[in-house]
Amino acid sequence: MWRDRWFARGVIGVACLACLTPIAALALVAVGLGAWAGRVDAVLLPSLVLFIAVAAYRSRVACRRAP
């Protein structure tokens, strides 16, 4: 069976960002670095867009190859 690793990486990346972001925000606040929590979006949003774009692109490529 053909498996697309890039599609899996995109989906796993989105899931990790969705699940780990609240934990990271709470950890920053607990350590006393709550001011940095607002700057996390500068990295989080572009990486989320990247993972979604990779998953969408590879899904589209896979649909084109299917007979």
Report the predicted TM-score, pTM, of the whole model to 2 decimal places.
Answer: 0.76
Note the pLDDT of residue 14. Answer: 92
CB 24 within 8 A of CB 43: no
Note the pLDDT of residue 15. Answer: 92
Sign of CA dihedral 47, 13, 16, 56: positive
- Encoding tokens for residue 22? 């609240």
C-alpha to C-alpha distances, 35 to 30, 47, 62, 65, 66, nearest whole angstrom: 11, 21, 43, 48, 49
* pLDDT string in tens for the chain (67-residue length): 357 788 888 999 999 988 988 888 888 889 988 888 888 888 888 999 999 999 999 888 888 876 6
- Sequence ranges of the domains in the chain: 5-65
Q: Within its chain, how far is the Cα of 30 from the centroid?
A: 24
